[in-house]
Amino acid sequence: MRLAGFFVFAVAVILLPILFPDDYFVTVVGIAAGLHVILAVGLNLLMGYAGQISLGHAAFFGMGGYASAILTTRFDWPGWLALLAGLLVAGTIAWLLARPILRLRGHYLAMATLGFGIIIHVVMVQATEWTGGPDGLGGIPPLNLLGWTVDSDQQWYWVIAAAMLLIIWLSLNIVDSRIGRALRAVRGSELAAQMIGIDTARTKTQVFVVSALFAAFAGSLFAHQQAFVSPDSFSLMISVELVTMVVLGGMASTFGAACGAIALTLLHEGLVVFEDYEMIIHGGLLMAVMIFLPQGLFVGLTQGVQRLWMLISSRRNAKACQAEVNTHAL
Amino acid sequence: MLEQIFQFLVAGITVGSIYALVGLGFALIYNASDVVNFAQGEFVMLGAMTAIALLGAGLPLALAAIAATLLTALTGLLLERCAIEPAHGASVVTTIIITIGAAIFLRGVASLLWGKNSLPLPAFSGNEPINLGGATLLPQSLWVLGGTVLLVGLTRAFLNRTLLGKALLACSFNPAAAQLVGINVKVMLRLAYGLSAGLGAIAGILAAPITFSSYEAGIMLGLKGFSAAIVGGIGNPMGAVAGGLLLGILEALGAGLISSGYKDAIAFVFVLMVLFFEPTGLFGHKVAERV
């Protein structure tokens, strides 16, 4: 029952390419959406559940991407080993950074994560001999999994879909575990959480590392899928977009974050025609959602439906009671 | 070598003055409402771009600058009225995202109106470099420095000497109490946004002949201004000015002596260090955390 939503989502993800084979929106947009879901679900653990804003999450995405790109093209490492190395790098940096950075709150935390993201971005642009500089790094070989080479759009769809479902399943389980409850306590009140014996610094470190790992994982897949990485894919704007996905869907809801990621990906795809208006719509949307539906589209809608349902069922109950009273009166 | 360092210092103080003005704008809004306005850099960009456009339409420079400042101040006021006021009482994360949304929105409007190219504004009094003990100085730098000194002095006098300024400060200390003694907190907030946008616009206009301007010029300027405010201790206007100057000098020295490509990274590493070791800022008051 707890994972019912997960199974519905999984069935939809599996059915899509079967119902619409070779459809551009499924295989091309679907891959982008899947990667965004992984990133948003990871960021949501940090932002939604633990209440810690990060405006530099693209940095971890980039670390995964560049680790895979550099190790496979310059050192001929196999893809899976490069992916693990990317996870190790991002995880270690997140772990080292977590304690000093997560001691900060609110605006200070926003500034610190933002600064971190910019520093990493500058390194990507400037360390030309390693990263290829602003022109990026191409020629990344296709991913090879146990002898199976992933190189067509359809194959990528299945790999990304599997990765995405794994991440969602992990996230649902983390949220429902002891750590997940500790996270929500931290968001509610850090002092109160400490009073009931939660090591808040440790809990925040753990969630920061986990969300960095998710992002680096997505980064490695992204690098192989695109066969090319450049600093543009990991800029400040990307960090802001990731935050948009989380708040658009609804904070503190794994499916909310997933829906936000899919919605924003589709929106970008749809807005290609209105390229000049893209920023206006993006910015306007961000403001409107935060002002009118601060709990997010997905969470706001499900709460609305729930309330409507309760209203209808209470009316029905009232009617049934009335009918019963009437028959007794007769 | 010494001459070179002197040259870097001059460049750093010029850039730092601009950061100082942007940081001052941050501090004004933060003081009045505890909101950090991530669209502050966009005010700087709007001021410069509007002035360039009005100049292009045939207005004399002085008139174009004044009109651009007023128009930007009006934009700031509208932003407060239409986006910040309706979200009254929202969490810090929510207000941060609203102002980020506003920044992207304003950037979009600017790119639609004026395209995506970098545009220059002519220097106010020529481009003949002034020789200053081995270092050269553009006349526009003097305009920037003079403008900064004047504006900082005016803002300081406004906050400390006038009834209106004191009312603005009262709103930051305790909005409910301010309301009780008859201060219209809503109007004060709009005033703070208007003033801060105007300050940003003037900074943008002063800097445009040196740095040029484009629809995305506000991103880095805004972030550096925010950094200046944080280094100086957020909510302390004069701290923001000192923070801006410090950041500008550090950046120019870093660019000159280490690597110009890494100058932004150097600035932000410094900001991170300040946040890690002295989170209330170098010139801020130690504030006890409220539970």
Domain count for chain A, please give it: 2
Predicted local confidence at residue B284, as pLDDT: 62
* Arithmetic mean of pLDDT, A214-227: 93
Name which of A119, A126, A291 is nearest B87 (Cβ-Cβ). Answer: A291
What CA–CA distance (Å, rounded) separates B192 from B35?
11
Report if pTM > 0.80.
Answer: yes
Residue A306: domain span? 296-330
Residues of B in contact with A123 (CB under 8 A): 265
What confidence tier does B104 reach under pLDDT thresholds 50, 70, 90? very high
What CA–CA distance (Å, rounded) separates A167 from A190?
27
How does strand B130-132 pair with strand A137-138? Answer: unpaired
Residues A172 and A231 in one domain: yes
Residues of B in contact with A105 (CB under 8 A): 92
A50-70 pLDDT, tens digit each: 888 899 999 999 999 999 999
CB B103 within 8 Å of CB B222: yes
Residues A234 and A310 in one domain: no
Mean pLDDT of chain A: 87
Q: State the smallest CA–CA distance between residue A120 and chain B in angstroms.
A: 8
Lowest mean pLDDT among A49-53, A191-195, A258-262, B90-94: B90-94
Say whether residue A96 is in contact with chain B using an 8 A CB cutoff. Answer: no
* Arithmetic mean of pLDDT, B57-72: 94
Predicted local confidence at residue B290, as pLDDT: 39
Residues A194 and A313 in one domain: no
CB-CB under 8 Å, A287 with B101: yes
Q: Give the gyration radius of chain A's Cα atoms.
A: 22
Residues A154 and A302 in one domain: no
Residues A174 and A308 in one domain: no
A282-297 pLDDT, tens digit each: 889 889 888 888 888 8
How does strand A137-138 pair with strand A148-150? Answer: unpaired
Name which of B96, B103, B272 is nearest A112 (Cβ-Cβ). Answer: B272
Residues A86 and A186 in one domain: yes
Say which CATH number the domain at A200 has. 1.10.3470
In the numeric block, the tokens 């929202």 are attached to: B90
Name which of B96, B226, B230 is nearest A53 (Cβ-Cβ). Answer: B96
Residues A321 and A250 in one domain: no
Say whether residue B109 is in contact with chain A using an 8 A CB cutoff. Answer: yes
Residues A11 and A136 in one domain: yes
Residues of B in contact with A285 (CB under 8 A): 101
Residues A205 and A120 in one domain: yes
Name which of B234, B261, B268 is nearest A126 (Cβ-Cβ). Answer: B261
Predicted local confidence at residue A186, as pLDDT: 86
Predicted local confidence at residue A220, as pLDDT: 94
CB-CB under 8 Å, B101 with A285: yes
Q: Is the Cα dihedral B227, B207, B110, B194 positive or negative?
A: positive
Residues A141 and A249 in one domain: yes
Chain A residue closest to B115 (CA)?
Answer: A276
Residues of A in contact with B91 (CB under 8 A): 294
Residues A126 and A58 in one domain: yes
Residues A194 and A271 in one domain: yes
